[in-house]
Amino acid sequence: MTQAHLETERKLVLLEKRPNGLAIITFDSGQKENFLSTTVLRQLEGALDEIERDSSVKAISMISGLENNFIAGADLHEVLKLNYDEVHEMARRGQDLLTRISNLAIPVVCGIHGSCLGGGLEMALSAARRIATDAPETVIGLPEVKLGLIPGLGGTQRLPRLIDLRSACEFILFAQAVDVRKAQELGIIDEIVDRNDLHSRVESYALELASDPDWKSRPHGAVMDAPEKQEKYFKMMERTLRIKTKGNYPAPVKALESIRIGLSEGMEKGHEFEARAFADLAFGETSRNLIFLFFTTEFYKMSAAAKAAKQGSGAIKSVGIVGGGLMGTNIASWAAIRGFDVTVKAASDARQELMVETVENNVSRAANSAENEGKTQTTSTIKSAKSFEDLADVDLLIEACAEDFDTKVKILSQILPILKPSAIVATNTSSLSINALVEKVGAKHDCFGIHFFHPVDRMPLVEVIPAKNAGKESQSKVLAFLSTLDKLPLPIKDSTCFLVNRILCCYINEAARLVDQGVAVNWIEDAAIDFGMPLGPWGVTDEVGMDVALLVADSLQANIGERFTKPDVLKGVKDIGIIGKRHGKGIYNWDESGKNLGLEPDLSNILKLNVSAEKAPPEECKKLAEHIILPMIDEAARCLDEKVVRRPREIDVATVMGMGFPPFRGGLLRYADSLGIAYIISKLEEIYSLPGPKREVSSYLRQMSENGRSFYSSGKDSGDN
């Protein structure tokens, strides 16, 4: 870098020296968040050089100049652009810099307000003490493992020396951000102050320490366990991680090893391992896929949040929910938890009373939950509608009744004339055409289909299907509403069963066709789970419900045609009364607590299905997994061709967030690119040649192969790699 460039480079690290001997280092990117880039590290080195040359400096205050952010972590965009040696060098340089801060002869006190994550927390750990605000936006964490990385600036070395070993390992390995009170309880934060008092308290604390000649030698940190006890814990935790990750997520195991080496062989050896492991992981496929998913989900969340910020007084504030079943009750609960005024209307008085009671209980539990710290809004009201007239003034009406076209038409026909003209109307549906509904009821209001996934509180994806009569302003309001619910709203074209259910039906159908061919029911489930799916096709069917799964399958078969013909086994399980988890009898039996009691005996006793006492060999598992996964890729290609969605990344984020496709594989189409389109086509031809409906590989896939393209070389998502 030239001297001229250094002179014109924007200052991201500011240094102020005061007459009382205090130096104030301020991180200020001028943006929404601070990140630790090579530029920031270099400027911080320069600030430390100047401080060390000035003998009048007695103490250092380290703060952020941003409104709601300390440091959000490393600049991942920069990391992805570097080569292996540069990433390793960046980690080593950062480690050396933070070690330099820790070894200063003068005290450094860090003041934290807003998010302090990843490299930001590692920076704070290098200080002598840490003070944080009690604001809900102040969160503390080391989330690197979730991105397939490990803390790379000394986090695996300093945290286990500051707090007890078990707490440090769990904090790093499970990558959960915590609120400031939990951080203080763990021993990460020394003091909590009001936001307005942060800077003054950090400054006074730094000078107090400086006035104590023995400040550096006073006990501060964890009491180390005996080496034998540490080694016993490491062996236990390593076994736990290998079982939990199944070899698919290397980062937790590497992080644990880095902690172990640092404690057993010394901090320098620990730093060496940590930096090398960080670089190795940064260039691994798993972290690249997880970072891709992180950037993609953040893009859609920020897009929806930006729309929310523009709404102002026109934003949705009140929501009416019609339908007292599980889905309607859960949507109402989540809206109330997030601060919306909710009015609910169920089909009967008994159901109405239960719905209101359940919503109130859910809101109360959320308010007392640490997981929702800072998110639960207690200003919402929950009203019980005696009639549809009580819904007249809501900003958003969500109909969440049974998945039946005529039922929805009947209910909407009664409600629409009552609603104020500006109200937005949505129907929660997994398969029905919103345009057909709008046409049938003659709706004048802007209408949407919205597809929440079960369970509402845990599934982040919501498909949003605008009707032809829906304006852009209304769409922005709906996306903003869902963003406020902490959901990932994804616009989808109105089409048969939309996106996720269409692809998911391929998953279930292909598994059922294998059963029709005599493959063991449990082998198929095992193959899917070995591939990385959280649930095999039978577990998914039991969660969704066989009744819902068959309804979706029937709709796809009726509207798309032969390739969605239901396998015989799906007809058979319906005939013997298999419904799913919520009724206790599905492909598996379930007790009242939701515990899996094993495969339903009637599968073999009545339907004579093959259930093997043996485990499937690894090669057979791989073959079976390809059989149920590759047709999903083919169907996803058709969805792109039909513009159900327009970009591969939308399918990838939808399959991960909506159906649990393994995140370490990056999504369905990132996985497809890793296999190669030619390979996929050859395997699909084998699969489609087996007994079953007549099927052909999609023209979209064949054109890609002919043109030598992959999903992410098509030009549509070239910026996401």
Q: Which CATH number is 457's domain given?
A: 3.40.50.720
pLDDT cut 90: percent of the chain above it: 82
Decide if 588 is inside a domain: no
Q: How far apart are CA 245 and CA 619, in angstroms?
A: 20
Mean pLDDT computed over 487-508 = 96
Calculate the alpha carbon distances from 247 to 241, 250, 286 in Å: 9, 6, 11
Q: How far apart are CA 486 and CA 481, in angstroms?
A: 9
Confidence tier at 721 by pLDDT (50, 70, 90):
very low
Decide if 308 is inside a domain: no
Decide if 73 is inside a domain: yes
Asked whether the predicted pLDDT for residue 4 surpasses 50, the reply is no
Residue 480 and residue 507 share a domain: no
Instruction: Specify the number of domains making up the chain.
Output: 3
State the residue for tokens 């040696």. 85
Confidence tier at 308 by pLDDT (50, 70, 90):
low
State the residue for tokens 């038409």. 409
Calculate the alpha carbon distances from 152 to 102, 149, 267, 421, 423 in Å: 16, 8, 13, 55, 50
Q: 340-369 pLDDT, tens per residue?
A: 999 999 988 889 999 999 999 999 998 877
For the stretch 181-186, contacts whose Cβ atoms lie closer than 8 Å and that sit 24 or more positions apart, written own/partner, are 181/134, 182/140, 182/370, 183/132, 183/140, 184/132
Nearest CA-CA partner of 456 in 415, 503, 412, 400: 400
Residue 657 and residue 555 share a domain: yes
Give the tokens for residue 504.
């998911």
Mean pLDDT computed over 388-410 = 96
Longest dimension (CA), the chain: 88
Residue 139 and residue 11 share a domain: yes
Q: How far apart are CA 443 and CA 437, in angstroms?
A: 8
Residue 481 and residue 541 share a domain: no
Residue 483 and residue 517 share a domain: no
Decide if 55 is inside a domain: yes
231: exposed, middle or buried (C-beta count within 10 Å: 0-12, 13-18, 19+)?
Answer: middle
Decide if 106 is inside a domain: yes
Q: Is the dihedral of CA 720, 42, 119, 97 positive or negative?
A: positive
Residue 330 and residue 196 share a domain: no
Q: 558-606 pLDDT, tens per residue?
A: 999 999 999 999 888 888 888 888 888 889 999 888 889 999 998 888 8
31: exposed, middle or buried (C-beta count within 10 Å: 0-12, 13-18, 19+)?
Answer: exposed
Decide if 606 is inside a domain: no
Give the tokens for residue 430.
């997994």
Q: How far apart are CA 447 and CA 438, in angstroms?
A: 7
Q: How far apart are CA 31 and CA 707, in angstroms?
A: 42
The number of beta carbons lying within 10 Å of the beta carbon of residue 349 is: 10
Range of the domain at 659: 503-564+614-720
Decide if 598 is inside a domain: no
SS (H, E, C) 615-633: CCCHHHHHHHHHHHHHHHH
E-assigned strand segments in 492-548: none
Q: Which residues neighbour 327 within 8 Å (Cβ) at sequence distance 6 or greater?
A: 400, 428, 452, 454, 456
Nearest CA-CA partner of 721 in 656, 652, 658, 643: 652
Q: 548-569 pLDDT, tens per residue?
A: 899 999 999 999 999 999 999 9
State the residue for tokens 């994806």. 461
Percentages helix, strand, coil for the chain (3-state, rounded to 5) are: 55, 15, 35
Q: Which CATH number is 180's domain given?
A: 3.90.226.10
> Which stretch of 179-188, 431-440, 517-526, 571-580 has the lowest confidence by average pLDDT?
571-580
Q: Which CATH number is 547's domain given?
A: 1.10.1040.50
